[in-house]
Structure 1
C-alpha cells in the first residue's frame, strides 16, 4: 500500500474515527488504547501483516468513510483471498459492537454508564466518553467477549431494546453488514441456533427452557406457511385485513381543545388504505374506556384470512399515551398489547402497523432547516392555522413484540403539529409518501417510506419549532404496500 495514500487517508480522519478504527482492530493488533494517530495505527497494522487494501477497505466502509475508498482502487485487484487470513479479516463481533455504538444516543450512553458503575467502577465509567470505551472496559473485566454477550444484552435491554436486538441478531447467526442503513434492512426473526452465546437469555434477561428469544412470530416450532420462510410479508388476500381509524376531534374536558383538521386526516387514511385493499373501520370521538373496549373487540376477530392489521389513532396525547375524549389516557402499550400473539394467535408472524398522530409532551423541538427556506415560508403562511396535540399526561412505556411497527408523529417529550384546514403534518406526509411508494416500479418497503417521511417532516418549521417523527419497529420481514385491484376490493 502506497504510503502517500495512507497519509491522505490518515489526514482525512477525525480523532473519533481513528478511535473507532482502533476499536475495530483490537482483535488484530494489541495495545491500541493510547493510539490517536491513524499513521501510527497503519504502522501497527503493517507490523502485523494486516495493512492490505482489502482490510483497509473493510475498515473505512464500516465507519462510513466511503469517500476515501477511491484511494484504495487499483490495490484491491492484486489481493487474493485476504479473508482467508484471520489476521487480516475484520471481526463481525467488532462490527456488531460498532453498529451499537453508531446508534447509541447520549441518553443511552449515560444510562449504560450508570448501570455499570457497580460492575466496573465509577472512575472507569466517568472516563468513558463513547460506547466503544464502555465496551473496552467490559472486555477488560471479562464481562464481554465474542462468546459471552449476556451482560451486554442484559444492559441494553434496560437501556434501549432496539440496540439489544442488534446483539440478538448477531447471536442468532444473522449476517453483519457493515454500514448498511438500518431502515432499509429488516430485522431477522429470532430463531434458535446451537451454541449461540445468548441461548440462555429470555426477553426479560432470565433463562428459559426453550433456549431462544421468544418473538411475536413464534407460536409453534414449525413455520405456519411457506411465506414465513421468505424475506417478505405475504400480502395475498383481498381484503388484506382491517384498518382501524380512531379519530378524536371533540373533547369533553376544557383542557383539550377541538382538533380542527383531523377530518382531513381521516379522509386521507380511509382513501389510502381502501386502495391498499384494507377494510376500513372508523370510530369517532371515543373515551379512553371506549378505545380499549373497541380494540379488544377487534382483537377477537379471526385473522386467519388476513395479511396484516393497521390501527391509526388521531387524538391529543402526552409521552407514551393518547387521550380519550374524556381526558383519560390510554398507554401505547394498551393499544398494541391486545394484538400480540399471546392474545391473537391468528396474527402471529403478520405485520401490525400502528400510526399515532398525537403529541408526546409539551416541549418544542428546535433546529435549523438543512437546505432551503421554502418549508419555513410555507409554515409561516399558515402559522395561524397550526395547532398542537399536546396534553398533560405522565410517562408510559411501549411493549416490544415481534412484527409490530409503531409510527409516531413525534419523538418523546415533544409536540406534533396539525393544520386546522388540511390536517396534521405527519399523517398528510405519511399518506403522500405511501401513495408515492405504491406506484414505485421497484417497490419500496415501509421502513424506506418512513425514513422519507422523517426527512420531509423534519425539514419544515411550525410555530417556530421543528417536528421529528419516530418509527419504532420489530418487523422481521420486508413489508411492501401496493394498491389493490379496485374490482377485487369492491367485490370483497
Structure 2
C-alpha cells in the first residue's frame, strides 16, 4: 500500500471533531490563516506535505498527532502503535508542551465548566455562542491574552471551575521554568567552551537570544518532564511494550447478561431494562454473542453459570458476564432474595471448571449495591485465578445508584466509554479508569443537597493488556441518555 493510500485510509476514519483537534495542535507549525481555510483531514495532510512536515519517509508528526487525539488504532497505518509512540514521545516530540497542555484542558473540560469560563472571561457574545473550548483558546491567543508565558487570564478562569485543570497549567509552568533554567545553564557551559580568548572583534549574541535559540533546537531532543511530576502528558515511566491478549479467533466470545428487576422482598429495580439494552447493543457491536436471561432466582443463576461454563470456548477469545441485580457485601441476590457470593460466580469459570477459557480474559461486570452492616463488610471480591477482571459498580459497604428511567450510573458510564474508547485502541483498564472518573463526579441531590455519591471498583488478575478490536462499523446508539440525574 503506497503512502497516499494509507493517508486516505486514516482520513476515512477521522471525524470533523478530530480535524478541529489536529488543526489546533498544528497552530505552531502551520500558519493560522491556512489552517482556518482547511475543511477536511485530507486537506490538512496536503498542507503538512507542502510544509515538508509529512511524507513517506517522515510521518512522525502525523503519528504524534494521532496519538495525542487518542486515535491509537489508526497508528497501524503508519507501522506503529500506542505503546511504541508512548516511549518515542519521551525522547522526541514536535507538538509543543504548551500546545499539548491546552489540548488536555480541552479534553477534560465539561460543558458546564465551559459556560462558567466563558462568563468569567467576558468574551463577546458573537464569539461565545456555540463555541468549543478550542475556539475559546484560539480567541485568547489571537487577542494576545494567552501564550506560552502568558497564562494568568486562563489560570484565573480555570481556577474557578476545576482544581484538576488548574493543576495541569501549574505543572506545565513548572516544567517550562525548569527546562529554561536547564537550557540557560547548558548554554553557559557551551559558551565557555566555544568562546575564543580574544573576542574584541566578535559579535556576541545576547543571553536571552541564545537561550531562545537553544530551546528551539533542543526542545524535541530532550524530555521536558520533571521526574516527580505525575501528569498524563508526560507518560514518564519507561515500561516495555506490554503483551496483548489474542483477539483473532473465529469468535469473539459469549456475553451473558443476567437481568433481575422483580424480587420477593426487595423493591423493583426500575430502569434496569435501559442497562440491559445498552449492554446488549454495545457488546453485540464489539462482536460478542450476547445472551440475556431475565428474572433468575439464585438457583437459576447457578444453573445458568454452569451452562455457560460447560460450553466449548475453544474458538472464542474471551468471556463476559454482566449481572444486574440487588446485592449486599461481596454478593448478589437472586429474585428470591437468596445470596450468591461473587467469589462463587467467578469460580464457575476457573481453569479447573472451564478448561476452554484457560489463559483467556474473563470479565465480570456487577451492577449491585454492596451495602451491609459494618459487621458483614470485608475486602472487595478478588479473583483467585489469573486472567480475570471484576468490575464492581460500587465499593464494598456502599450503595449503587440507579435512575428509574435512565438506568444506573455505572452501566451507562461503562457502555458510553466502551463506545468512545474502543475505536481509539484503549485497553479495558484505561476504559474502567475513565468509568471511575465519570461516576465519581456524579452527585445525587435530595432536597437541594448532595446526599449520595458513588465510586466503582475494578479488581483484576489480568496478565496482559486487553484491547477489543475496533468494530468495522460505528456504534449506532439506541437512544440511551447520558445526562446526570
Q: TM-score range by the shorter chain?
A: 0.3 to 0.5
What is the TM-score of this pair, normalised by structure 2? 0.47
What is the TM-score of this pair, normalised by structure 1? 0.47
